[in-house]
Structure 1
Amino acid sequence: MTLLDHLGELRVRLVRCLIAVGLAFAGCYSFAEKLFDLLMQPLVKAMPPDSKLIFTALPEAFFVYMQVGLVAATFVASPFIFYQIWAFISPGLYEEEKKNAIPIALFSASFFIGGAAFCYFQVFPYAFEFFMGFATDRILPMPSLSEYLGFALKMLLAFGIIFEMPLFTFFLAKLGILTAGMMRRGRKYAILGIFIVAAILTPPDVFSQMLMACPMLVLYEISIFIAAAVGRKEKTDEEEDGDADEATPDERPEQGH
């Protein structure tokens, strides 16, 4: 396929993803208010009794529900979206690897949704309890709908993406691109990169950064075991020297009788 053919296929895949999200959005928007109430529960439980969420612009609540419906539609359509991603990549794979496109897409969606669920059930309660701990008799928290939604969705999507790490490690290890030895040798650089990524994806406070960095560190260690289990074994220097000796023809002249 030429470059233009690849770009044409990419356009088709993106259009299909947009159509899937649009169809899911048509159904999710009718439940947007209930979904947002569910999304607010971790914050509401941590807020002081007299605190409430507010909106300061007239169309703010409307756009908040639109965003909630759109993100919910993205999660609903995520199996189809990941299938389109893997289907776009599959022409460069072997036949045996192409057959795994559907299982990989389903696992990708499961890890993505699982990461968001981990954030909602495990990270949000501790994060909001920490932030609400700064409230006093004179300081009463009144977060706006859009500010809370921006924070919550950013965290949910970020955790959904980082939980794809073991799956991408599995895929790269099967292709021989990544090995457990490479990950072990690059661990110190990976730790630095993890904290940089966590600082970018989270609000500008150390607590949120740690809440994201710690699961990423655990996922990185799990990914090393996955790469060791399914990846190709790295050859030691002695084995490489032995292979080189075997590959070198014996150029010594035959001795006469």
Structure 2
Amino acid sequence: MTVEETQPLITHLLELRNRLLRCVIVVAVVFLALVYFANDIYNFVAAPLLEVMPSGASMIATNIATPFFTPIKLTGVVAIFLSVPFLLYQIWAFIAPALYQHEKRLVYPLMFSSTVLFYLGVAFAYYVVFPLVFGFLTHSAPEGVAIATDISSYLDFVLTLFLAFGVCFEVPVAIILLCWTGVTSVEDLKKKRPYIIVAAFVIGMLLTPPDVFSQTLLAIPMCLLFEVGLLFARFYRPKEDEDEANPQE
């Protein structure tokens, strides 16, 4: 590798390091701003379960350090969650110089919509799915079985659901990208609609607790978002067509 080839590589690596450092600093600042409210944040996340637990039941900690570290862990996740717009911007700023102008115009709305959809997925899980799922699970316990959920296990459970719903709500963005890159087309996806509906319910079965309510509550939004993705994918020409239409860029 020549010196001329090495210099651009070093420049890109330095820029990548700087942007990663900025991401770490922003997440750390948000975390430090929230850590004082760690217990309040955990209480907010635990509210959907606490509201449907039988009278006299409570959450428990099975490890002596769990009451301290579990809210701290949740606060760290929340800090990353709140920093997502900045993190996405840093990714975008790093790859932007390699994109054509018409590709940049596509990325702007996709970045905004992917962020909003992720937040909507998390909000849907918290405000719609959690009350129904926890209500079903707590009232389906056999008689004589006390409900006493470990706070660490509960956190792992809800974070998994948050991630599952947040990612699955990105279906429209995925559809648009697949059609834009030429991997598939709107017409092909329409023909495969029955298989995609079945796949949505299979994904719901794999990513949610083993009850029909939560599986359905994930699969139905995915099917609806699939239709939304098909609708908006019509407005994006395949990348090859855009490149031919913009050879000078």
Across the aligned residues of Structure 1 and Structure 2, the Cα RMSD in angstroms comes to 2.8
User: Hey, what's the Cα distance between the residues in 2 that align with 1:72 and 1:142?
Assistant: 25
Per the TM alignment, residue 178 of structure 1 is displaced from its structure 2 partner at its CA by 4.2
- Relative to structure 1, the CA distance from residue 21 to residue 180 in structure 2 (aligned partners, 3 Å threshold; closer, same or farther) is same
User: Hey, what's the Cα distance between the residues in 2 that align with 1:108 and 1:119?
Assistant: 17
- Which contiguous aligned blocks of 4+ residues in structure 1 show a shift greater than 4 angstroms? 1-7, 9-13, 99-103, 174-178
Amino acid at match of 2:201: F
Q: Deviations over 1:62-105 (max 9, x none)?
A: 12111210111112101011223333443443213325545543
Aligned to 2:217, which of 206, 211, 220?
211
Per the TM alignment, residue 115 of structure 1 is displaced from its structure 2 partner at its CA by 1.0
User: Hey, what's the Cα distance between the residues in 2 that align with 1:129 and 1:185?
Assistant: 38
Identity %, equivalent residues: 37
Partner residue, 1:252: none
Per the TM alignment, residue 175 of structure 1 is displaced from its structure 2 partner at its CA by 4.8
User: Hey, what's the Cα distance between the residues in 2 that align with 1:199 and 1:15?
Assistant: 38
Partner residue, 1:107: 113
Per the TM alignment, residue 40 of structure 1 is displaced from its structure 2 partner at its CA by 1.3
Partner residue, 1:168: 174
Q: Which sections of structure 2, spanning at least 5 residues, go unmatched?
A: 239-249
1:56 aligns with 2:62: yes
Q: TM-score, normalised by structure 2?
A: 0.80
How many equivalent residue pairs?
A: 232
User: Hey, what's the Cα distance between the residues in 1 that align with 2:141 and 2:11?
Assistant: 54
Secondary structure of residue in 2 paired with 1:74: helix
Secondary structure of residue in 2 paired with 1:154: helix
Per the TM alignment, residue 5 of structure 1 is displaced from its structure 2 partner at its CA by 6.3
- Relative to structure 1, the CA distance from residue 115 to residue 190 in structure 2 (aligned partners, 3 Å threshold; closer, same or farther) is same
Per the TM alignment, residue 56 of structure 1 is displaced from its structure 2 partner at its CA by 0.9
Question: Larger Rg: 1 or 2?
Answer: 1
Q: Which sections of structure 1, spanning at least 5 residues, go unmatched?
A: 233-257
Q: TM-score, normalised by structure 1?
A: 0.78
Q: Deviations over 1:25-81 (max 9, x none)?
A: 111212211111111111111111111001010111112111210111112101011
Aligned to 1:93, which of 72, 96, 99?
99
Partner residue, 1:46: 52
Aligned to 2:36, which of 30, 39, 45?
30
